[in-house]
Amino acid sequence: MEILVLLILMIIGAFIATETRDLLSSVISVGAVGFLLCLAFLYLKAPDIAITQMVVEVLALIILIRATLHRDLTFVKGMRAKLGLGFSLFAVVVVTVLSIPFFQDLPKFGHPLLSEGRSVANFYLQEGLRKTGAANITTSVLLDFRMYDTLGEATILFTSILGALAILRRPSHKKVKEKDKEEALK
Protein backbone atom coordinates (compact mmCIF):
# COMPACT_ATOMS: atom_id res chain seq x y z
CA MET A 1 0.00 0.00 0.00
CA GLU A 2 2.72 2.47 1.01
CA ILE A 3 4.67 1.52 -2.07
CA LEU A 4 1.66 2.48 -4.22
CA VAL A 5 1.50 5.95 -2.65
CA LEU A 6 5.23 6.37 -3.27
CA LEU A 7 4.84 5.25 -6.90
CA ILE A 8 1.95 7.65 -7.53
CA LEU A 9 3.94 10.53 -6.02
CA MET A 10 6.92 9.58 -8.18
CA ILE A 11 4.78 9.59 -11.34
CA ILE A 12 3.38 13.03 -10.40
CA GLY A 13 6.92 14.30 -9.85
CA ALA A 14 8.06 12.94 -13.19
CA PHE A 15 5.11 14.66 -14.94
CA ILE A 16 5.97 17.98 -13.30
CA ALA A 17 9.61 17.52 -14.25
CA THR A 18 8.78 17.09 -17.93
CA GLU A 19 5.94 19.60 -18.21
CA THR A 20 7.10 22.64 -16.24
CA ARG A 21 8.72 25.54 -18.04
CA ASP A 22 11.14 26.59 -15.33
CA LEU A 23 14.27 24.46 -15.53
CA LEU A 24 15.04 24.92 -11.83
CA SER A 25 11.68 23.50 -10.70
CA SER A 26 12.12 20.70 -13.22
CA VAL A 27 15.47 19.77 -11.67
CA ILE A 28 13.97 19.98 -8.17
CA SER A 29 11.11 17.64 -9.09
CA VAL A 30 13.65 15.18 -10.55
CA GLY A 31 15.32 15.30 -7.14
CA ALA A 32 11.98 14.68 -5.41
CA VAL A 33 11.44 11.61 -7.61
CA GLY A 34 14.89 10.36 -6.66
CA PHE A 35 14.30 10.76 -2.92
CA LEU A 36 10.92 9.03 -3.19
CA LEU A 37 12.70 6.17 -4.96
CA CYS A 38 15.16 6.08 -2.06
CA LEU A 39 12.22 5.81 0.38
CA ALA A 40 10.75 3.02 -1.75
CA PHE A 41 14.05 1.11 -1.57
CA LEU A 42 14.10 1.55 2.21
CA TYR A 43 10.52 0.29 2.43
CA LEU A 44 11.48 -2.77 0.35
CA LYS A 45 14.33 -3.44 2.84
CA ALA A 46 17.22 -2.72 0.48
CA PRO A 47 19.43 -0.32 2.48
CA ASP A 48 22.45 -0.78 0.20
CA ILE A 49 20.62 0.51 -2.84
CA ALA A 50 18.89 3.20 -0.74
CA ILE A 51 22.26 4.61 0.35
CA THR A 52 23.59 4.53 -3.21
CA GLN A 53 20.43 6.16 -4.57
CA MET A 54 20.47 8.93 -1.94
CA VAL A 55 24.14 9.77 -2.42
CA VAL A 56 24.09 9.68 -6.22
CA GLU A 57 20.86 11.71 -6.27
CA VAL A 58 22.36 14.46 -4.13
CA LEU A 59 25.47 14.68 -6.29
CA ALA A 60 23.48 14.58 -9.52
CA LEU A 61 21.23 17.38 -8.26
CA ILE A 62 24.22 19.51 -7.29
CA ILE A 63 25.83 18.92 -10.68
CA LEU A 64 22.57 19.67 -12.51
CA ILE A 65 21.88 22.87 -10.58
CA ARG A 66 25.42 24.20 -10.38
CA ALA A 67 27.01 23.14 -13.63
CA THR A 68 24.28 22.96 -16.24
CA LEU A 69 21.87 25.59 -15.00
CA HIS A 70 23.03 28.97 -16.13
CA ARG A 71 21.33 32.34 -16.03
CA ASP A 72 20.76 32.41 -19.77
CA LEU A 73 18.96 29.10 -19.99
CA THR A 74 16.55 28.91 -17.07
CA PHE A 75 13.33 29.08 -19.08
CA VAL A 76 12.18 26.90 -21.92
CA LYS A 77 11.10 29.05 -24.84
CA GLY A 78 8.65 28.23 -27.57
CA MET A 79 5.27 26.52 -27.67
CA ARG A 80 4.78 22.98 -26.53
CA ALA A 81 3.73 20.64 -29.33
CA LYS A 82 0.20 19.52 -28.47
CA LEU A 83 0.08 17.05 -31.33
CA GLY A 84 3.18 15.28 -30.00
CA LEU A 85 1.66 15.09 -26.51
CA GLY A 86 -1.50 13.58 -27.97
CA PHE A 87 0.49 11.01 -29.90
CA SER A 88 2.49 9.98 -26.86
CA LEU A 89 -0.65 9.67 -24.70
CA PHE A 90 -2.21 7.53 -27.45
CA ALA A 91 0.90 5.32 -27.55
CA VAL A 92 0.89 4.93 -23.75
CA VAL A 93 -2.80 3.91 -23.73
CA VAL A 94 -2.34 1.42 -26.59
CA VAL A 95 0.74 -0.19 -25.01
CA THR A 96 -0.99 -0.45 -21.61
CA VAL A 97 -4.11 -2.06 -23.09
CA LEU A 98 -2.04 -4.50 -25.14
CA SER A 99 0.16 -5.50 -22.19
CA ILE A 100 -2.65 -6.30 -19.73
CA PRO A 101 -2.59 -10.06 -20.60
CA PHE A 102 1.15 -10.16 -19.92
CA PHE A 103 0.77 -8.40 -16.57
CA GLN A 104 -1.57 -11.19 -15.45
CA ASP A 105 1.13 -13.80 -16.08
CA LEU A 106 3.74 -11.99 -13.96
CA PRO A 107 4.49 -13.38 -10.48
CA LYS A 108 2.84 -11.56 -7.58
CA PHE A 109 4.60 -8.59 -6.02
CA GLY A 110 7.14 -9.76 -3.47
CA HIS A 111 7.13 -13.36 -4.70
CA PRO A 112 9.88 -13.64 -7.30
CA LEU A 113 10.09 -16.79 -9.40
CA LEU A 114 13.69 -17.41 -8.41
CA SER A 115 13.02 -17.80 -4.67
CA GLU A 116 11.49 -21.29 -4.83
CA GLY A 117 13.31 -24.52 -4.06
CA ARG A 118 16.94 -25.00 -5.03
CA SER A 119 17.46 -21.70 -6.80
CA VAL A 120 20.38 -19.30 -7.07
CA ALA A 121 18.77 -16.75 -4.75
CA ASN A 122 18.29 -19.34 -2.01
CA PHE A 123 21.84 -20.56 -2.53
CA TYR A 124 23.19 -17.02 -2.04
CA LEU A 125 21.08 -16.53 1.11
CA GLN A 126 22.08 -19.84 2.70
CA GLU A 127 25.70 -20.23 1.60
CA GLY A 128 26.77 -16.61 1.13
CA LEU A 129 28.42 -16.16 4.51
CA ARG A 130 30.08 -19.59 4.49
CA LYS A 131 31.42 -19.27 0.94
CA THR A 132 32.69 -15.69 1.02
CA GLY A 133 32.90 -14.65 4.69
CA ALA A 134 31.12 -11.35 4.04
CA ALA A 135 28.28 -10.58 6.44
CA ASN A 136 26.58 -8.31 3.89
CA ILE A 137 24.98 -10.60 1.31
CA THR A 138 24.66 -7.79 -1.24
CA THR A 139 28.40 -7.16 -1.19
CA SER A 140 29.16 -10.86 -1.34
CA VAL A 141 27.01 -11.13 -4.48
CA LEU A 142 28.44 -7.97 -6.04
CA LEU A 143 32.12 -8.60 -5.38
CA ASP A 144 32.37 -12.38 -5.19
CA PHE A 145 29.69 -14.36 -6.98
CA ARG A 146 29.12 -11.71 -9.63
CA MET A 147 32.45 -9.89 -9.66
CA TYR A 148 32.67 -10.18 -13.44
CA ASP A 149 29.56 -7.97 -13.74
CA THR A 150 31.03 -5.43 -11.33
CA LEU A 151 34.20 -5.36 -13.40
CA GLY A 152 32.06 -4.56 -16.42
CA GLU A 153 30.35 -1.74 -14.51
CA ALA A 154 33.70 -0.32 -13.46
CA THR A 155 34.86 -0.48 -17.08
CA ILE A 156 31.75 1.39 -18.22
CA LEU A 157 32.32 4.10 -15.59
CA PHE A 158 35.99 4.39 -16.51
CA THR A 159 35.22 4.66 -20.23
CA SER A 160 32.49 7.25 -19.73
CA ILE A 161 34.76 9.41 -17.54
CA LEU A 162 37.44 9.08 -20.22
CA GLY A 163 34.98 10.24 -22.87
CA ALA A 164 33.75 13.17 -20.78
CA LEU A 165 37.31 14.30 -20.11
CA ALA A 166 38.23 13.95 -23.78
CA ILE A 167 35.30 16.14 -24.84
CA LEU A 168 35.49 18.76 -22.08
CA ARG A 169 39.25 19.10 -21.65
CA ARG A 170 41.25 22.25 -22.18
CA PRO A 171 41.51 23.49 -25.79
CA SER A 172 43.85 21.31 -27.81
CA HIS A 173 47.48 22.25 -28.42
CA LYS A 174 46.80 23.01 -32.06
CA LYS A 175 44.18 25.65 -31.27
CA VAL A 176 46.37 27.23 -28.60
CA LYS A 177 49.26 27.47 -31.06
CA GLU A 178 47.02 29.09 -33.69
CA LYS A 179 45.82 31.62 -31.13
CA ASP A 180 49.42 32.43 -30.21
CA LYS A 181 50.28 32.94 -33.88
CA GLU A 182 47.33 35.30 -34.34
CA GLU A 183 48.37 37.30 -31.30
CA ALA A 184 51.96 37.44 -32.56
CA LEU A 185 50.76 38.75 -35.94
CA LYS A 186 48.79 41.51 -34.27
Partner 1 sequence: MKEEEKGLSTIVKVVTRWIVGFILLFGIYIVIFGHLTPGGGFPGGVIIAGVFVLLTLSFGREVPLRKLNSTLASELDSFGALVFLLVGILGLYLATYFAQNFITTFPQQYFRPFSAGVIPICNLAIGLKVGASIFMVFIILAVTRVISVGEGRMKMLRKRTGRRRRK
In the region spanning residues 112 to 151, those forming contacts with partner 1, defined by CB under 8 A, are 129, 131-136, 138-140, 142-144, 147-148, 150-151
Residues 6+ apart with CB under 8 A from 112: 121
Judged by beta carbon, residue 104 or residue 172, the one nearer partner 1 is 172
Judged by beta carbon, residue 97 or residue 167, the one nearer partner 1 is 167
Judged by beta carbon, residue 102 or residue 148, the one nearer partner 1 is 148
Which stretch, 55-63, 79-87, 91-99, 115-123, contacts partner 1 (CB under 8 A)? 55-63
> How far apart are the C-alpha atoms of 175 and 111, rounded to whole Å?
60
> How far apart are the C-alpha atoms of 114 and 118, rounded to whole Å?
9
Which stretch, 27-35, 54-62, 87-95, 102-110, contacts partner 1 (CB under 8 A)? 54-62
Contact pick of 25, 68, 88, 115 for partner 1 (by CB under 8 A): 68
Q: Is the dihedral of CA 24, 26, 27, 31 positive or negative?
A: positive
Query: Are 57 and 38 within 8 A, CB to CB?
Result: yes
Dmax (CA) for the chain in angstroms is 81
Contact pick of 170, 173, 174, 186 for partner 1 (by CB under 8 A): 170
> How far apart are the C-alpha atoms of 184 and 186, rounded to whole Å?
5
Query: Are 4 and 13 within 8 A, CB to CB?
Result: no
| Residues at the interface with partner 1 (CB under 8 A) | 47-48, 50-52, 55-56, 58-59, 62-63, 66-68, 70, 72-73, 129, 131-136, 138-140, 142-144, 147-148, 150-151, 154-155, 157-158, 161, 164-165, 168-171
